[in-house]
Every structure is written in structure tokens, then in C-alpha cells.
């Protein structure tokens, strides 16, 4: 069936001018100093950036010099470096005879051949340019070569949001394609550390709305917006991308990109590189290397991954099963598709955490296997490290805080804009009592994704356990549900009790018990024991026994801590310490909290408590040294 997509735009707003465009295979081959068959082979085998159109008055393909230059950089030395080295070693520029895969020679102005002095002057400058370029390669970070497409007179943009791409097919069954491409662009741009890129969950609320760009930018706190559309026709995919200035509500750049679905990763990378260039993002050498790692994918496998992502935002049993089935189908179709294995690992973790925690053993094995396979194929997949860290921070792995934090930090090094990595680190740090570090990562997660409820929860817990009760209460009350609802409710009651607002605490607890009567972890039972510890100790003891029964099925370290506080308020030192030890051994060794919480004051003079705290203090010091080895 003929391609129904219209040809890409022949001009770019604020981008390459007409002189940068090469309008045929012959022009592209001449620019690269190769024959046509060679450059066609490069386009097929090495993903050389070439655009296609169906305009009758133009050639079959066209290309842009800056894109070809960027492609050469991903293969080896830059044009300037290669020319300089050739001049320095042979006295003449590199020519066609240097070999098929050598860097092409870009000729000087045609008039140069009549002016030897000018040529010699140009050669000296080429040598100098080559030395400067070589120096840039060995620096830790440098201005990305991609920014050559941008306007150097404009200030660097440090923050942006990718708005939901519009589905131009107007077929609701194709929404997953537009949403998947939106998420892909967010992920790819997020890997550039100099940019703050707003997370998917915070931008999807603008899907289908007509909110002014200036208002969106103010709400998200960004300097620029990326908008656009997606159109799929058979096995062809076209993305139209725009960079919008919120100050004028007008686009400063626009371009159309089109490729076969098997080259969709290249398509995503092309759009990412173009946007990075136009916002003048600083791209480090490792980031640029990762951006250059591409491979064709099986179109059906990629489509299965997009469908799975679309389902993964919901955590019902049916959606979870369907997402896993789609991802298993994807890796069966394309066994070398590393991102599909990473997505599969994440899907198993989501099912384990939110859907069927009783399937722990089987799901953990499957998740670990998928993560390891993903990393064996591509060690630069942040999603695989997040999945592995989540698996380490479980009851079956005794909440391996140090190892889990290592995995999350590795993910963060690969995607500095991963709000998921930041909020996971905040969660680990708050549980081991490193509150300042927890607040730092929670703040970054919320800057990237203001809708990140789990980051809000970690922030609220850190504030509470630091003694900033009023600020903690306001944060708990702002958390949107349903994220850890029983725990959020229990901590809200806990905060009200610390503030001396006992009547409000009682009303809050009654409301929570009506909303969440099952209370699987025993958090609400533990809080109710605290509330009754001094006035009705017999009832309080009964609720502590409820926590003990729930512990056998679903151990919860927060519920154990609430039971410890209730026991301490009843001056039962041994029982309180037993519960504290239970909390510490199941993921909550929070020395900083245990040392300051007034709920434990009635037993502080007890030798059993003092011995426990001395051991916990040593463990806390060890953890801090292990997690932050560079600190003195």
C-alpha cells in the first residue's frame, strides 16, 4: 500500500537554512565524498539520517548537513578533527582514497583552489580546530554538538515539559501510540542532566485541553514547552514537534520527522537531539554516547511495548496481566530488545507490589530474570536498575537499604530526571533516618513531577520525624490518594497526636477505619492502640494483638513502630523494645526517630531499651558510612 503520509516540511523554523539541505542521494553522496551506493548502504545498515518525501518536484530523499555531521560524530572523530589530523600528518586533507569508512572530506569554498594562500590559511585553522575538538572530547562535559542547530544568541533553557502529543489519526485505539511517543521523548530528554524535564504523570493532565502554553509553563515551572502530534500509517510513523516559547505562546522551532516503525528508536533520538540543540542543552560525553546507541526493532514487538505502557498506569489485576502478556510477547518476537525486558521487570514488580503480593516468590524470580537479561543486553537502562532496587527493598531481601540505594543511584546517573529514582532514594533515606538527604531527593522528585504522591509521603515522613509536625501535617493532608492510604491516614493521626490535638486525631482515625476497614498491614490498629494506651490499656493491648496477627501474614514495619509506641506509653519496656526490634529488622532501623520521639520517653531509662539503642546507633553509623563513602 502506498505511503499515505504527506511529505515533511521543507523548512525549519529557527533551524537549518536552505544551504544546509541536500536534496538527493547524489547531493548527499557528494557532501560525504562517497558514491551513491555507499551512502545508501550507510542509511540502511548504520542509520545515517536521511529523510524521505513523496513530492513530485523533488528527489526521493533529502538530508541536512548538521544531522549528517552529528551522525559522523556518533561513528568517530568529527569532521574538523579528521581534517585536522589528515592535514597534520600528510599535509593534505583527507580524500576519497582514505577508505569507505573514513571521515568524509568537506571541501573548502570552490574559489579556494585558485587561491593557494587562502587554502594554507584555512589548513592552519583546521589544525587548530582539530586540536580544540580533541581537547573537548577528553573533558568531562561539553556543550553538545547538537546545539549547532540552535540559535547561539538565545539563552540556554534549563527546564521544559513535553506536552501530550496529539493523535492525528483520531482513532481512539491508536492513543497508546501518541502516549507512548510522549513518554519516550520525556525519557530520552530526561537523560540529559543539564535539563529538568517534567515527568509524564504531571503533563498528562493537559491531554485534550486547550490551556495556553504560558499558563502550563507557569503551573509546571518550566522555561519552554514541547508540543506536537503523531500520525501512524501502516508501518510508517511521523512526528511533528514544536518548541514553544511560553512568553509569546508561539513556536520558535518546528519540524516533521518520519521513519519506518522498525527505526522508531532512531526517530525518537532524532527528535531528542533536535530539541536538545534548540534549547542549547549541555550534553556530557557519556550522555552523548548513550544517545548514539541505537538498533532497529521488530515493529510488532515495539507496538506491544507501547500497549503495555498504556496499561501499566493502571494497577488492576486484569491490566497487570495484560501488560505482562504483551511484554512477554515483545521479547519473544525480538529477543534482543533490551527495553522490553526492562519494562517486563518493572511490570512484575508493579504486580508484586500493588496487585498480588502473595505471589512473592514467583514474581520476584521473574522480575530479577527480566532485569538481568535487560542489563546483559544494555547496561544503560535505568528502568532495569529501578526494578532491581525495588526487589532488593522487600521483606524477602530484608530491606537491603545500601544495595537498593546503589541501584537507584545508578538509575539516576543514567536518567537524572527520573522522579522515580529520586523518590525511591527519598524513601530509603527516610526509613534509615537520613532525613536531610530524604528531603533533598523528595524535593527534586516533586520539582520534576509535582504529582508524585510517594515523594510527598516521604517528604511528610521526614518532616514528621524531624519534629516539624505542623509542616508534616499540611503535607500529609495534601497527598492525593490512593497511595499507601492506610499508612498516610495512620501518620496523619500520629501527627495530630504529637500536636496534642487528640480529639481531631480520634475523628481522623474513625474516618480512616470506615474508608479502609481491612487495614491489611495493621497500621490503623497500631495507631488506635497508641490512642488508647493510657486511657484504656486493655483495649490498647487488644489492638496490639491485632497488629501481631496481621504481622504473621503481611509484616509492616510502621505498624510495628506504632505498637512499640503504644507499649512504651503503657510502660511495657520489654514489649516495646521487641516491637522496635521488629520494625528495625523489617526495614525501619530509624535511629534518628527512635532517639527523639516523645512516645518512647517512658522507657528511655530502661537498660533493655538503652542496649537496643546503642546497637542501633552503631548500625546507623555503619549505614551512613556505606551509603555516603565520600563523606568524612
How far apart CA 520 and CA 85 sit, in angstroms, is: 69
How far apart CA 341 and CA 374 sit, in angstroms, is: 5
Place of cell 523533488: 58
The pLDDT of residue 608: 97
Dihedral pair phi/psi, residue 208, rounded to 5°? 80, 0
**Whether the predicted pLDDT of 354 surpasses 80:** no
Contact 161, 246 (CB under 8 A): no
**Whether the predicted pLDDT of 623 surpasses 80:** yes
The pLDDT of residue 132: 43
* pLDDT, tens only, 233-250: 888 899 999 999 999 999
Sorted by sequence, the CB contacts under 8 Å of residue 616 that are 6+ apart come out as 584, 589, 591, 594
Q: DSSP character for 466?
A: T
Residues forming a β-bridge with 161: 225
- Same fold flag, 159-291 and 299-392: no
Sorted by sequence, the CB contacts under 8 Å of residue 526 that are 6+ apart come out as 490, 543, 544, 547, 558, 559, 560, 561, 562, 563, 565, 566
In angstroms, what is the C-alpha Rg of the chain? 29
Contact 261, 267 (CB under 8 A): no
DSSP string, 540-605: HHHHHHHHHHHHHHS--HHHHHHHHHHHHHTT-HHHHHHHHHHHHHTT---HHHHTT-GGGGGGTT
**Whether the predicted pLDDT of 403 surpasses 70:** yes
**Comparing 29-33, 100-104, 216-220, 444-448, which segment has the lowest mean pLDDT?**
100-104
Residue 86's pLDDT band (boundaries 50, 70, 90)? very low
**Whether the predicted pLDDT of 331 surpasses 70:** yes
The pLDDT of residue 25: 86
How far apart CA 562 and CA 531 sit, in angstroms, is: 10
Residue from 58, 122, 64 nearest 93 by CA: 122
**Whether the predicted pLDDT of 457 surpasses 50:** yes
In the CATH hierarchy, which top-level class contains the domain 299-392? Answer: mainly alpha
How far apart CA 373 and CA 387 sit, in angstroms, is: 12
**Whether the predicted pLDDT of 95 surpasses 90:** no
Q: Where are the domains of the chain?
A: 18-149, 159-291, 299-392, 412-627
* pLDDT, tens only, 60-82: 688 878 778 766 755 543 333 33
The pLDDT of residue 392: 93
* pLDDT, tens only, 481-509: 666 788 999 999 999 999 999 999 999 99
* pLDDT, tens only, 266-311: 888 899 999 999 999 999 988 888 877 778 889 899 999 989 988 8
Residues forming a β-bridge with 628: none
Residue 148's pLDDT band (boundaries 50, 70, 90)? very low
The pLDDT of residue 73: 59
Residue from 244, 229, 249 nearest 278 by CA: 244
In the CATH hierarchy, which top-level class contains the domain 412-627? Answer: mainly alpha
Residues forming a β-bridge with 21: 64
**Comparing 60-69, 87-96, 328-337, 576-585, which segment has the lowest mean pLDDT?**
87-96
Find the DSSP H helices in 33-101: 36-45, 65-75, 79-90
**Whether the predicted pLDDT of 56 surpasses 70:** no
The pLDDT of residue 352: 83
The pLDDT of residue 80: 38
Residue 127's pLDDT band (boundaries 50, 70, 90)? very low
How far apart CA 392 and CA 396 sit, in angstroms, is: 8
**Whether the predicted pLDDT of 104 surpasses 60:** no
**Whether the predicted pLDDT of 436 surpasses 80:** yes
**Whether the predicted pLDDT of 443 surpasses 90:** yes
Q: DSSP character for 91?
A: S
The pLDDT of residue 60: 66
How far apart CA 9 and CA 263 sit, in angstroms, is: 20
Residue from 490, 481, 571 nearest 524 by CA: 490
How far apart CA 8 and CA 52 sit, in angstroms, is: 8
The pLDDT of residue 19: 59
Q: Say if pTM beats, i.e. exceeds, 0.75.
A: no
How far apart CA 372 and CA 505 sit, in angstroms, is: 46
How far apart CA 553 and CA 630 sit, in angstroms, is: 40
Return the SS3 of 121. Answer: helix
CATH numeric code, 159-291: 3.40.50.10070
Strands 159-162 and 196-197, by their bridges, are parallel
Q: How far is CA 199 from CA 445, 454, 502, in A?
A: 9, 14, 39
How far apart CA 564 and CA 561 sit, in angstroms, is: 5
**Whether the predicted pLDDT of 554 surpasses 50:** yes
Element (H, E) at 257: strand 250-260
Residue 514's pLDDT band (boundaries 50, 70, 90)? very high
Contact 411, 386 (CB under 8 A): yes
Q: How far is CA 111 from CA 79, 83, 117, 436, 585, in A?
A: 21, 19, 12, 65, 78
DSSP string, 287-344: HHHHHT------HHHHHHHHHHHHHHT---HHHHHHHHHHHHHHHHH-TT-HHHHHHH
The pLDDT of residue 556: 85
Sorted by sequence, the CB contacts under 8 Å of residue 296 that are 6+ apart come out as 47, 262, 263, 265
Contact 28, 63 (CB under 8 A): yes
How far apart CA 242 and CA 219 sit, in angstroms, is: 20
How far apart CA 504 and CA 412 sit, in angstroms, is: 40
> Please, how many CA atoms are within 13 Å of residue 529, restricted to the half-sphere of its CB?
29
The pLDDT of residue 130: 47
Average pLDDT over residues 513-538: 92
* pLDDT, tens only, 586-603: 999 999 999 999 999 999
Average pLDDT, the chain: 82
DSSP string, 131-160: HHHHHHHTSSEEE-GGGGGS-TTSPPP-EE
Residue 8's pLDDT band (boundaries 50, 70, 90)? very low
**Whether the predicted pLDDT of 166 surpasses 50:** yes
Place of cell 585536522: 84
Contact 49, 270 (CB under 8 A): yes
Contacts 24+ apart (CB under 8 A), 528-535: 529/562, 529/563, 529/566, 530/494, 530/497, 530/562, 530/565, 530/566, 530/569, 530/599, 531/493, 531/497, 531/502, 531/505, 531/506, 532/566, 533/565, 533/566, 533/567, 533/569, 533/570, 534/569, 534/570
Q: DSSP character for 429?
A: H
Average pLDDT over residues 170-191: 90
The Cα angle at residue 267 between residues 262 and 272, in degrees rounded to 5: 150
Exposed/middle/buried for residue 578 (C-beta within 10 Å: 0-12, 13-18, 19+): middle
The pLDDT of residue 125: 44
The pLDDT of residue 78: 37
If one counts every other C-beta atom within 10 angstroms of the C-beta of residue 630, the result is: 4
Residue 53's pLDDT band (boundaries 50, 70, 90)? low
Dihedral pair phi/psi, residue 159, rounded to 5°? -150, 140
Amino acid at each position: 500500500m502506498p505511503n499515505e503520509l504527506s511529505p515533511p516540511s521543507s523548512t525549519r523554523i529557527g533551524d537549518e537554512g536552505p544551504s544546509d539541505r541536500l536534496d538527493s542521494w547524489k547531493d548527499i553522496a557528494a557532501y560525504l565524498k562517497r558514491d551513491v551506493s555507499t551512502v545508501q548502504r550507510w542509511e540502511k545498515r548504520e542509520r545515517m539520517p536521511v529523510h524521505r518525501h513523496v513530492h513530485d518536484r523533488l528527489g526521493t530523499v533529502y538530508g541536512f548537513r548538521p544531522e549528517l555531521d552529528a551522525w559522523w560524530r556518533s561513528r568517530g572523530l568529527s569532521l574538523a578533527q579528521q581534517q585536522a589530523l589528515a592535514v597534520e600528518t600528510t599535509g593534505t586533507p583527507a580524500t576519497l582514497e582514505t577508505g569507505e569508512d573514513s571521515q568524509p572530506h568537506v571541501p573548502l569554498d570552490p574559489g579556494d583552489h585558485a587561491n593557494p594562500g587562502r587554502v594554507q590559511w584555512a589548513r592552519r585553522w583546521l589544525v587548530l580546530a582539530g586540536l580544540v575538538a580533541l581537547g573537548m572530547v577528553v573533558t568531562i562535559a561539553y556543550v553538545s554538538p547538537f546545539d549547532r542547530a540552535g540559535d547561539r544568541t538565545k539563552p540556554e533553557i534549563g527546564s521544559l515539559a513535553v506536552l501530550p502529543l496529539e493523535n492525528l489519526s483520531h482513532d481512539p485505539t491508536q492513543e497508546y501510540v501518541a502516549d507512548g511517543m510522549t513518554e519516550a521523548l520525556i525519557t530520552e530528554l530526561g537523560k540529559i542532566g543539564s535539563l529538568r524535564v517534567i515527568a509524564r504523570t504531571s503533563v498528562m493532565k493537559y491531554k485534550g485541553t486547550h490551556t495556553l502554553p504560558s499558563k502550563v509553563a507557569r503551573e509546571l515551572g518550566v522555561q519552554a514547552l514541547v508540543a506536537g502530534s503523531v500520525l501512524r500509517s501502516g508501518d510508517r510513523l511521523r512526528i511533528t514537534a514544536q518548541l514553544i516559547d511560553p512568553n509569546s505562546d508561539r513556536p520558535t522551532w518546528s519540524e516533521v520527522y518520519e521513519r519506518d516503525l522498525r527505526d522508531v528508536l532512531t526517530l525518537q533520538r532524532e527528535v531528542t537531539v533536535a530539541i536538545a540543540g534548540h534549547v542549547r542543552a549541555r550534553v556530557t560525553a557519556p550522555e552523548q554516547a548513550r544517545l548514539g546507541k541505537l538498533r532497529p526493532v521488530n515493529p510488532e514487538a515495539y507496538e506491544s511495548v507501547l500497549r503495555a505502557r498504556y496499561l501499566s498506569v493502571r494497577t488492576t489485576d486484569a491490566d497487570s496481566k495484560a501488560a505482562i502478556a504483551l511484554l512477554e510477547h515483545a521479547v519473544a518476537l525480538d529477543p534482543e530488545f533490551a527495553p522490553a525486558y526492562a519494562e517486563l521487570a518493572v511490570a512484575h514488580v508493579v504486580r508484586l507490589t500493588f496487585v498480588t503480593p502473595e505471589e512473592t516468590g514467583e514474581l520476584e524470580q521473574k522480575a530479577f530474570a527480566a532485569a538481568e537479561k535487560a542489563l546483559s543486553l544494555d547496561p544503560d537502562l535505568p528502568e532495569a536498575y529501578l526494578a532491581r532496587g525495588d526487589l532488593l527493598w522487600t521483606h524477602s531481601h530484608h530491606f537491603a537499604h545500601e544495595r537498593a540505594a546503589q541501584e537507584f543511584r545508578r538509575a539516576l546517573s543514567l536518567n537524572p530526571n527520573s522522579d522515580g529514582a529520586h523518590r525511591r532514594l527519598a524513601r530509603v533515606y527516610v526509613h534509615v533516618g537520613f532525613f536531610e538527604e530524604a528531603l533533598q531527593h523528595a524535593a527534586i522528585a516533586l520539582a520534576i513531577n509535582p504529582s508524585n504522591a510517594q515523594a510527598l509521603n516521604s517528604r511528610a515522613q521526614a518532616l514528621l520525624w524531624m519534629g516539624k509536625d505542623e509542616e508534616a501535617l499540611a503535607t500529609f493532608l495534601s497527598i492525593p490518594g490512593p497511595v499507601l492510604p492506610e499508612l498516610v491516614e495512620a501518620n496523619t493521626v500520629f501527627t495530630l497526636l504529637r500536636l496534642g490535638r487528640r480529639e481531631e486525631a480520634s475523628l481522623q482515625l474513625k474516618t480512616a477505619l470506615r474508608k479502609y476497614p481491612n487495614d491489611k498491614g495493621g497500621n490503623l490498629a497500631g495507631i488506635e492502640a497508641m490512642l488508647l494506651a493510657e486511657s484504656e490499656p486493655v483495649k490498647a493491648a487488644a489492638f496490639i494483638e491485632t497488629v501481631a496477627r496481621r504481622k504473621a501474614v503481611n509484616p509492616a514495619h510502621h505498624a510495628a513502630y506504632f505498637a512499640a509506641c503504644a507499649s512504651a506509653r503503657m510502660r511495657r519496656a520489654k514489649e516495646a523494645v521487641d516491637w522496635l526490634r521488629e520494625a528495625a529488622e523489617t526495614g525501619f532501623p530509624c535511629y534518628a526517630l527512635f532517639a527523639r520521639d516523645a512516645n518512647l520517653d517512658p522507657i528511655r531509662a530502661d537498660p533493655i531499651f538503652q542496649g537496643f539503642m546503642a546497637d542501633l546507633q552503631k548500625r546507623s553509623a555503619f549505614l551512613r558510612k556505606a551509603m555516603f563513602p565520600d563523606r568524612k
